[in-house]
Amino acid sequence: MSDAPVPPADAPVVRRRLSADDRRRQLVGIGLAMIVETPIQDLSMDDIAAEAGISRGLLFHYFPTKTDFYLACIAAAGRRILRNTAPDESLAGEAQVEMTTRLMIEQIDRRRRSYLALVHGHGVADPRVSEVMDSVRDVSTDRVVAALGVPESQRSSTRIVVHAWWAYTEDRALTWSAVPPDERPVPLSQLVEECVAALHALLRISS
């Protein structure tokens, strides 16, 4: 049995001192966890600081303005969307397209309010907000073009079509997810099938 003294129950909690980078990651992680239920424009900086166990003033040491903190969270949310919607590259091309379409619709369905805030930049008047969503759409477009195995000579024109198709799919997903699950006109599988069919129809028209 150890002879080490046992601290009293009311002893203060000893917090590990974090490096500046670790603290920023911690704060952004807290922000990401909170925007699951709260749109980013409604986040309370006091709540963020309290959750991290630091003062509001120290939070602003790491993120000089509220907008800086929001942008860091938005950028992290964009990276999370891309991680969550990445297809399995070991699958055949068509299966990859179906998979990334389904994953994107599911992502929007799970995080609809937060996704809308990211798309429209509610409460954050900074052009870098739109840059995050542009990056998500660009990477998602590149994934589909790669999965389709488009010849190099056709990639530029195909990319324009796929990029526009993602906007269509996003709108379908937002409309579909706004309806209570037991009242939705089609199941997820059919919505995915319709969106993928729309992609191929657009590609045929544009070829």
Distance separating alpha carbons of residues 172 and 174, to the nearest angstrom: 6
pLDDT for 12 equals 44
Distances (CA, A) of 165 to 37, 69, 105, 141, 205: 28, 32, 13, 9, 13
Q: In the chain, where are the structural domains located?
A: 90-206
pLDDT in tens, the chain (207 residues): 445 454 454 444 345 577 888 899 999 989 888 876 676 667 788 999 999 999 999 999 999 988 888 888 888 888 999 999 999 999 999 999 999 999 999 999 998 877 876 776 555 566 777 788 889 999 999 999 999 999 999 999 999 999 999 999 999 999 999 999 999 999 999 999 999 999 999 999 987
Q: Is 191 exposed, middle or buried (0-12, 13-18, 19+ CB in 10 A)?
A: buried
Which ranges constitute the DSSP H helices of 35-92? 45-52, 56-62, 66-84
Rounded to two decimals, the pTM is 0.79
